[in-house]
C-alpha cells in the first residue's frame, strides 16, 4: 500500500434479520411458542402493543426475537429501508446491532419478545 492510498477497513458481512412466516392452518399456540423460545435459550416477555402504537428505530447489543400471537406488527428495518408486516404465528429474528422499530396494527398486537 502506497503512501497516497487511503486506509481502508475490511468489509464485513452485515447480519440480516430472518423472518419465518406461519404456514399452519390453525392459530399459533402461545404456550407452545413460549416453550420453543425457552428451549432455544431465550428469556421471554409477553408484550401487548396498543393499536397504531410502537417505538422508533433502535438497536441492541444482543439478538432479539419477536413472535406475534395476536393482531399484527409492522417491523421497520431502517438499514434495509423496508417494512415487514407480521401476522399471528410469524416470527422475526433480529441480530444484535440491527436497527429496527415496531408499529402495531389497527387491532394492536400481542407478541412474545425474546432475548438472549
Tell me the pLDDT tens digit for each residue of 43-97: 999 999 999 999 999 999 999 999 999 999 999 999 889 999 999 999 999 999 9
pTM of the model: 0.85
- Which domains does the chain possess? 18-115 (2.60.120.10)
Q: Cβ contacts of residue 96 below 8 Å, gap of 6+? A: 15, 59, 60, 61, 62, 63
Task: Return the pLDDT at 1.
Answer: 53
CA distance linking residue 23 with residue 113, whole number of Å: 20
pLDDT at 48: 97
Amino acid at each position: 500500500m502506497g503512501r497516497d492510498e487511503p486506509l481502508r477497513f475490511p468489509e464485513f458481512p452485515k447480519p440480516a434479520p430472518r423472518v419465518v412466516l406461519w404456514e399452519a392452518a390453525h392459530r399459533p399456540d402461545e404456550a407452545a411458542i413460549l416453550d420453543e423460545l425457552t428451549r432455544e435459550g431465550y428469556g421471554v416477555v409477553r408484550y401487548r402493543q396498543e393499536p397504531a402504537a410502537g417505538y422508533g428505530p433502535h438497536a441492541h447489543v444482543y439478538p432479539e426475537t419477536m413472535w406475534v400471537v395476536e393482531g399484527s406488527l409492522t417491523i421497520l428495518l431502517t438499514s434495509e429501508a423496508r417494512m415487514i408486516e407480521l401476522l399471528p404465528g410469524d416470527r422475526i429474528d433480529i441480530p444484535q446491532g440491527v436497527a429496527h422499530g415496531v408499529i402495531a396494527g389497527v387491532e394492536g398486537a400481542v407478541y412474545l419478545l425474546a432475548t438472549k
